[in-house]
Amino acid sequence: MRLLPILLLPPFAAADTITVDAGRGPITVHVPDSYSDGTPAPLVVLLHGYSGNGPGQESYMKFLAVHEEYGFHYAYPNGTIDQFGNRFWNATDACCDFGPTGVDDSAYLAALLDAIEAAVDVDPRRVYFIGHSNGGFMSYRMACDHSDRVAAICSLAGAAWKNPGDCNATSPVNVLQIHGTQDGTIAYGGGLINGAPYPGAMESCEQWATYAGCDLTPVPGDPLNLDKSLPGKETTVLRWEANCDDRGSAELWSIVGGGHGPNLSDPFAGNVIKWLYAHPQPGVDVIRYCTPNEVNSTGGSAVLAASGSDSVAQNNFTLTASSLPANEFGYLLASLDQGFVMPPGSSGNLCVSGDVARLVDQLQSSGAGGSFSATISLKQLPTNPPQNVLTGQSWNFQAWYRDGTTSNFTDAITVLFR
């Protein structure tokens, strides 16, 4: 069986690059103009198909064209060359170490992540792999072997292991499978390569939905235009995202009538990056400000913490105020604006201003050094008027609480939603 090569064209030029070496020679990493030391940026690694190479794969998929807009570090390394003179990745038993050589590409790509992280600040919750064909198989391999480091993958015309037991994932990963229904090289419904089986597009997604504990009945999404050679919005969308572990989900974009190398539409690259960005590893990055300068009746200062996810798409965001007096009531506050004022009768500063919203009904602390918390819907914040949290917005949060005959505040936090 012969896998189709990718046309070799010059890559899109970028302004800022660094070079790293993970043991196989220099690799160019494109660094966005928006990057500055100490401010981690997401990392996207693109993996080429069998007989292709990194620059050729970038020329085909064109992620450099959106690299500055979305602000990610970006690399497209080369696999090694087999006895037939073709570059490849040793991903699964089906694809594509046809020698076989036994080369450990999983370890090499992990070393590449190490090298990039040593050179620039990488957001550890937003490390992504994208691959086409053999590169798609290899992206699944990275999700299996390095699920602690990889937030999400996108496979175009690749596949997972046929035997789920061969995947060594220790935690779920978010998976996007894109596949043409008329792919004559890596069949949409699965098949064999040199006698070794590989799963179909649906089966690959169901494997990863199972890893994440998702409901196995997918929900359809709005159709997309991914192949400009086909009329209209030819791509159907299925999502496995209900009741999933926070770390994983699966989604299938089926290009109806599409082949192994679709004529990718202009929105393709942006659509993929937006999907990846909506699927970070769980967590919330906060910036603290307005530290309380007054102790409360517990002898300490109350603090506000955030947990769950700062991804708008995941809509799983919880605020918790702790070190509170027992059996007192309070409120969670939010605003797009910061402010510093000590209201009359208060022992602390109100550090949100402008259109300040009480996010939930009155809350009650319990126990000595008590706390209260609430999970907040990012899709319907009770501001005036109500509004959704938007990707890229920074919101400021604080808690007010009664403390005997006076009142007080926690510190305040800023969260940038992804």
* Separate counts of helices (H) and strands (E) for the chain: 6, 26
pLDDT at 137: 98
Residues of the chain with pLDDT > 90, as a percent, come to 77
Q: Report which of residues 300 and 43 the model is more confident about.
A: 43
Q: Is the pLDDT of residue 346 over 80?
A: no
pLDDT at 32: 95
Nearest Cα to Cα of residue 233 among 200, 268, 201: 268
Judged by DSSP in three states, 269 sits in helix
DSSP string over 321-360: EEEEPTT-EEEEEEESEEEEE--TTBSS-EEEESS-EE-S
Structure tokens at 259: 């082949």
pLDDT band at residue 280, thresholds of 50, 70 and 90? very high
Q: Can you tell me the mean pLDDT for 384-407?
A: 89
* Residues with Cβ within 8 Å of residue 395, at least 6 apart in sequence: 334, 335, 336, 389, 414, 415, 417
Residues of the chain with pLDDT > 70, as a percent, come to 95
Lowest mean pLDDT of 198-207, 272-281, 308-317, name the range. Answer: 308-317
Q: Read off the amino acid at residue 86.
A: N
What is the C-alpha to C-alpha distance for residues 244 and 221, in angstroms, rounded to an integer? 17
Structure tokens at 342: 């000590």
pLDDT band at residue 367, thresholds of 50, 70 and 90? low
Q: Which residue ranges make up each domain of the chain?
A: 17-277, 286-416
* Residues with Cβ within 8 Å of residue 2, at least 6 apart in sequence: none
Q: Is the pLDDT of residue 9 over 60?
A: no
pLDDT at 266: 97
220-261: pLDDT as tens digits:
999 999 999 999 999 999 999 999 998 999 999 999 999 999
Q: How many CB atoms lie within 10 A of CB 84?
A: 11
Q: Parallel, antiparallel, or unpaired: how do β-strands 41-47 and 73-75 relate? A: parallel
pLDDT band at residue 393, thresholds of 50, 70 and 90? very high
96-136: pLDDT as tens digits:
999 999 999 999 999 999 999 999 999 999 999 999 999 99
pLDDT band at residue 293, thresholds of 50, 70 and 90? low
What is the C-alpha to C-alpha distance for residues 88 and 48, in angstroms, rounded to an integer? 8
Lowest mean pLDDT of 29-38, 193-202, 263-272, name the range. Answer: 29-38
pLDDT at 295: 79
pLDDT at 311: 87
Q: Report which of residues 370 and 294 the model is more confident about.
A: 370
Rg of the chain, C-alpha, whole Å: 24
Q: Can you tell me the mean pLDDT for 355-377?
A: 85
Domain 17-277 identical in fold to domain 286-416: no
Upper half-sphere CA count for residue 84 (Cβ side, 13 Å): 14
Cis ω before 96 (30° cut-off from 0): yes
Q: Is the pLDDT of residue 379 over 70?
A: yes
pLDDT at 298: 82
Chain position carrying tokens 């999933």: 244
Q: Can you tell me the mean pLDDT for 320-327?
A: 90
Q: Is the pLDDT of residue 4 over 50?
A: no
Structure tokens at 270: 């942006």
Identify the CATH assignment for 17-277 out of 3.90.245.10, 3.90.950.10, 3.40.50.12160, 3.40.50.1820: 3.40.50.1820
Burial zone of 232 (CB within 10 Å; 0-12 exposed, 13-18 middle, 19+ buried)? exposed
The DSSP H or E segment spanning 106 is helix 105-119
Is the torsion defined by CA of 99, 83, 177, 140 positive or negative? positive
What is the C-alpha to C-alpha distance for residues 340 and 414, in angstroms, rounded to an integer? 14
Question: Average model confidence (pLDDT) for the chain?
Answer: 92
pLDDT at 12: 36
pLDDT at 67: 96
Structure tokens at 22: 């993970």
pLDDT at 291: 77
Q: Can you tell me the mean pLDDT for 303-315?
A: 89
The DSSP H or E segment spanning 20 is strand 17-21
pLDDT at 243: 92
pLDDT at 109: 98
What is the C-alpha to C-alpha distance for residues 212 and 370, in angstroms, rounded to an integer? 33
Identify the CATH assignment for 286-416 out of 1.10.357, 1.25.40, 2.20.28, 2.60.40: 2.60.40
Nearest Cα to Cα of residue 187 among 362, 335, 400, 3: 3
pLDDT at 147: 98
